[in-house]
Every structure is written in structure tokens, then in C-alpha cells.
Structure 1
């Protein structure tokens, strides 16, 4: 089964990275247009990721699913369905040098043609997304695509 693995170093404290990946306001600041997160007291919940007029074709995209795990300043895990079935996205945060090592892992893709296409798209997309997260947190730069 294919899986996605990325790492990036962000020179800000764990708490700041975690707040950005675990709140609606955080996601909307660096990546999405209208994301909604609801986290329950037991560390589960729901995530809805939304992009409006995205890309050169100006498509509206909405996806999301269950939040499976919330471990403050350590892990944020959710499911969504970019392919044929749900996949699981795990952000793991580790202290590193003067900041945070962000490890992203996505699993659950099958070897079907639709899932392989989704996996390749997500692998590229998460690499770009982590770069956007880094420049947002380190420099306060927000990039919103207006094509």
C-alpha cells in the first residue's frame, strides 16, 4: 500500500505549530478558505476542509471526516477521502533545535488507479502545504492562490 511521508523543520515553538494545525483559524490562515474543526473533550471530532475557486479551473473543493486523535503539542490525526476510500493524515510534532520538526504521514490508500492518483496528488499537495505552513509561521506570509 502506498503511503505519504514528509518532514519539515519550522523555527517556531511546538505550541504555535500545534495551534495552527488544530484550529479552524489556523488552517484558514495558511492553507484553506473555510475549514471547520470541532474537537470534543475526548480528543475526537470532525474536520471539514474547504477551498473556493481553487486552481486554474476555479473549482470548489470540500473534504473531511473524523478527527481521530488530538494530543496537544504532539499529534493531530484526522481522516478524509481524497481517493476511493478514507485515508488517515497524522501530524506529529517533535522538538528540534530552536523549533519544531513537523512529520506528516498519510496512510490508507489502496493500489487502485483512483487511489494511486489521489496518493500522488496528495504527496505533492502535502509537500506544498508544509512549505506554506513554514512560511506562514516563520515569516507571517499568507499565500492565497488567485488565478
Structure 2
């Protein structure tokens, strides 16, 4: 058994190559093999969002606080709020983040396949985001 104490978890500013705006990440679960589960608490400042991306084994998002958006390549954009849970199927191109005027924090849960949990694509344009 391993217990990770809250005082040992550090917030990290997310890599700007994969996000627009300021996004903070805190690891929750990074289980050793043969387990594959990975979970992060991700906090988006207003207007912040991920780049387009996919997950080889899918992803679950559970909104902890605030109001966010999630979009798919077909142009669908949905508002998500505290308490909502979203399942994104494997290899579906999508993005998610905060609304322009509200922060959003979610738990992102995914599994690693061959050591990778996401495949990153291009940034979400302002037109795609504002058009939401």
C-alpha cells in the first residue's frame, strides 16, 4: 500500500505546448504497472483550455468545481458543470477547458497504453473556442 500525503503533492503549471492560458495540474494517481490508471486534478483559469487531443483508451472527466466547455471535431460544444461526468471514447478528437469568465476544475482519468495516455494535436483556435 502507498499513501500520498496532500502536503507532498505539488501544483504544476501545465505545458504551454498542449494548453492555451494558465492551467494547473496536480497528480492524483500514477499507478505502477501492470496497472494503467492515471488521474490528474486539472484547474483551468477563465478562458484556458487544452489543445485538440485523443486518448488511446478513452478518458473520463469529472467536474469538481466551476463551469467548463468540452468540444468535439464535429463542432459540438457542451457546457459542463460541477458534478458532471463525461466519458470520451478512445481516439475521439476533443478539447476541454474553462468558460471565458469562469474557472473550472476537473479530475481527468485515463489509462496508459504503451506508456502514453494522450496524443496531442494542434491548439484550439480562438474562433473555435469563442464560437462555442
Greater helix share, structure number: 1
TM > 0.5: no
TM-score (normalised: structure 1): 0.30
TM-score w.r.t. structure 2 length? 0.32
Q: Which has the higher strand share?
A: 2
